[in-house]
Amino acid sequence: MDWGMKNRISRIIKPEAGRAVMLAVDHGYFLGPTSGLEDPGKTIKPLLPYADSLMVTRGVLRNSVDPQENIPIVLRVSGGNSIVGEDLSKEAITVSIQDAIRLNVSAVALSIYVGSKYEHQTLKNLATLVSECEGYGIPVLAVTAVGREMVRDAKYLSLACRIAAELGAHIVKTYYCEDFEKIVKTCPVPIVIAGGKKIPEKDALKLAYDAVNEGAVGVDMGRNIFQSKDPVGMIKAVRDIVHKNVSPEKAYGALKL
Ligand code: R5P
């Protein structure tokens, strides 16, 4: 692995603890004005001091994030679908490598849909993206998106994570589930977990705690942070869990709900 690639990965997975708190705000690429992200700039700004990196689309980055912010960017570069469209798995690569470099990103992110109608297309997207990004030392984060018909269990997610790694993804983002350790053991690259739909804060903090204690390097969390009644408190609590191994109970106690 070359210097640039290693340097960019260390901007996302902090070398001090080998952990990562990524703030995911890319939902609008297929969900439109997601609850809590109607005015993305307003939502993102107070959370940035506690995030190690920001996962975002090109449009929100350009329009809603101050270029003087010192936050590593993980740019979503797949899309072309919508919640009301034909099939969520019908994704293409939506940003050129030149534009990603122009935006000074630390990594790019793309979804794969193993077992879905357009599985092949999304896996080919990943392989193509990795091949292009290798030439510029830009890491690729693969998101194991789960179609409505798929079960989020260790059998399915370990299949999807391993395929992502085999095709060259440098980091994989997946879901926490029972027997999560099995997924970690069979995936040769670092794993971060998504938070998923909004759940009670106590449960979301336990999810983060369990994930890192079972081998995830961190979280790439969105709705459970920005849809909380205390978004800043929530990201601080997640940060304490991921970086300091604080218990979920203690982290929860500091929230203003
Ligand atoms: C979905 O594909 C997006 O990548 C989201 O960023 C991801 O699901 C993480 O956000 P959340 O924690 O809200 O699930």
Count Cβ atoms below 10 Å from residue 35 Cβ, excluding itself: 11
Measured at the CA of 53, the angle between CA 4 and CA 174, to 5 degrees, comes to 95
Computed over every residue of the chain, the mean pLDDT equals 97
**pLDDT for the residue numbered 82:** 95
**pLDDT for the residue numbered 155:** 95
**pLDDT for the residue numbered 19:** 98
Backbone phi, psi, residue 58, to 5°: -60, -45
User: Rounded CA gap, 106 and 217, in Å?
Assistant: 17
Backbone phi, psi, residue 210, to 5°: -60, -40
Distance between start and end Cα atoms, the chain: 45
Distance 197 CA to ligand 1 centre (A): 9
Distance 24 CA to ligand 1 centre (A): 6
| CATH of segment(s) 3-253 | 3.20.20.70
**pLDDT for the residue numbered 150:** 78
Task: Enumerate the domain spans of the chain.
Answer: 3-253
User: Rounded CA gap, 112 and 118, in Å?
Assistant: 9
Count Cβ atoms below 10 Å from residue 180 Cβ, excluding itself: 22
pLDDT beneath 70, residues of the chain: none
CA distances to 46, 69, 94, 125, 138 from 98, in Å: 30, 21, 12, 17, 11
**pLDDT for the residue numbered 130:** 98
**pLDDT for the residue numbered 106:** 98
Helix %, strand %, coil % for the chain, to 5?
45, 15, 40
Distance 195 CA to ligand 1 centre (A): 7
User: How does strand 73-76 pair with strand 107-112?
Assistant: parallel
Contacts of 125 (CB under 8 A, 6+ apart): 78, 91, 92, 93, 110, 112
**pLDDT for the residue numbered 1:** 75
Q: Which residues line ligand 1 (CB under 6 A)?
A: 24, 26-27, 55, 111, 143, 145, 194-196, 220-224
Catalytic residues: 173
Mutate to test the pocket of ligand 1, among 21, 25, 26, 152 (most ligand atoms within 8 A of CB): 26
Residue 195 Cα: closest atom of ligand 1:
12
**pLDDT for the residue numbered 189:** 98
Q: Nearest-CA neighbor of 96 among 66, 75, 117, 111?
A: 75
